[in-house]
Amino acid sequence: MRRPSPAILGSIALHAGVVALALVSWSSKDELKPLVNSVPVSIVSDIEIAAAPADNPQEEPSPDDGETAPVETLPEPTPPEPEPTPPAPQPQPQPRPTPPAPRPTPTPPEKKAP
């Protein structure tokens, strides 16, 4: 029996190492961390904004209900102006057909006297 070459032995050792590394890394799985869908935010502000006084204050609240208030009608929108019609196309003069070139008529061969 022949002795195996060093290349074959090296290839077998390399493949065995890759398989062993894959089995070692595959067996240890960490638990997945839960994903948070929101980010907690706290708003910090030192400024206090006071509400502005009403523009037209009423002395006492009105007894009218908002449902009985008259409804403002919006003006009807004006339709867009139609585009002007293009002018009628001018008829183009038809090109004159070129007369056929005159063909020379062949003359019958002349008979020679015997």
Alpha helices, DSSP H, located in 64-111: none
Query: The pTM is what?
Result: 0.25
CA-based max dimension of the chain: 144
What is the token pair recorded at 79?
């339709």
- Residue 61 binned pLDDT confidence (cut-offs 50, 70, 90): low
d(CA 16, CA 22): 10
15 confidence band (pLDDT: 50, 70, 90): very high
φ/ψ (deg, to 5) at 76: -70, 135
In the block, residue with structure tokens 């390399």 = 14
Question: What are the tens digits of pLDDT across the range 20-38?
Answer: 998 887 666 677 778 778 8
Q: What is the mean pLDDT of the chain?
A: 80
